[in-house]
Amino acid sequence: MRTLVQSELMQARMPSAEEFLGHYEDAIDDRVAEVVAEILDERDALRPRARPRPGLAALTLLLATGATIVLRHSPLAAAAVWLAVAVVYLVAGWKTLIR
Please report, to the nearest 10 degrees, the dihedral formed by the alpha carbons of residues 56, 70, 76, 93 taken in order. Answer: 0
Choice among 20-24, 29-33, 59-63, 73-77 with the minimum mean pLDDT:
20-24
Q: Which residues contact 52 (CB under 8 A, 6 or more apart)?
A: 93
Top-confidence residue, 51 or 57: 57
The per-residue pLDDT for range 32-49, each reduced to its tens digit, is 889 999 998 888 788 766
Q: What is the pTM of this model?
A: 0.41
> Which pairs count as long-range contacts for 42-51, CB under 8 Å and 24+ apart, including other chains?
48/97, 49/97, 50/93, 50/94, 50/96, 50/97, 51/93, 51/96
Residue 78 C-beta-side C-alpha neighbours within 13 Å = 10
